[in-house]
Homo-oligomer: A and B are copies of this chain.
Amino acid sequence: MTSREQIVTAALRRLNEEPNASMAALAEAAGVSRATLHRHFAGRQELTVAIGRLAQERWERALDEAGVDEAAASGDPARIEATLRDLLATLADVAHEYGYALTEHGLESDPELVARFERLEARELALYGAAQRAGVLRDDMPVRWVSNAVYGLLIGVRDSLRWGDVARRDVTRLLVETFLTGTGARA
């Protein structure tokens, strides 16, 4: 791991705890002098964008490994549902590890990041849409609502783990079941 990568991951860890940590704090977290931090990243913006990219790569890998595109194209309900559950399970981890990137607003100012975000989101929307057509998800909800609901629940996951409200091994089940069948008791 290059020192640049070490800095990014250390900064992410620190920012997950304190989103407004100063560059000095991030340097300290990386075990590096402030000057060295600036040698690798011209400014805070550059560093946070690097973190954003890292998060997106992780997200993209989650989509790839779950086989989102193929499942969406297949139209096979069983396969779509399995993929969906698989994806959500992985996204729970991503939310936990990259929570900072999940909630930070400043990242929207980087066009490259925004563009990639939209591509990734589109792939997810395609899966949700396919799930609706295949009868896996109810089709009387806007796809974008479904997407935003997932996003919100992922923030719930992040907070639950942050505050220690829920054990890590339970959180996947809670997320998936809440998303698919809600919190209501079966009639």
Contact = CB atoms under 8 A, between A and B. Distances in A.
A113 interface: no
Interface stretch (A33-41, A44-52, A151-159): A151-159
A42 interface: no
B135 A148 contact: no
A166 B144 contact: yes
Nearest to A20: B105
Interface in A123-152: 135-139, 141-142, 144-146, 148-149, 151-152
Given A145-B166, A155-B155, A137 B183 contact: yes
A103 B151 CA distance: 14
Interface stretch (A23-31, A61-69, A173-181): A173-181
Contacts of A153: 149, 152-153, 156
Given A103-B103, A144-B160, A156-B148, A183 B180 contact: yes
Interface of A: 19-20, 103, 105-106, 135-139, 141-142, 144-146, 148-149, 151-157, 159-160, 163, 165-166, 170-171, 174, 177-186
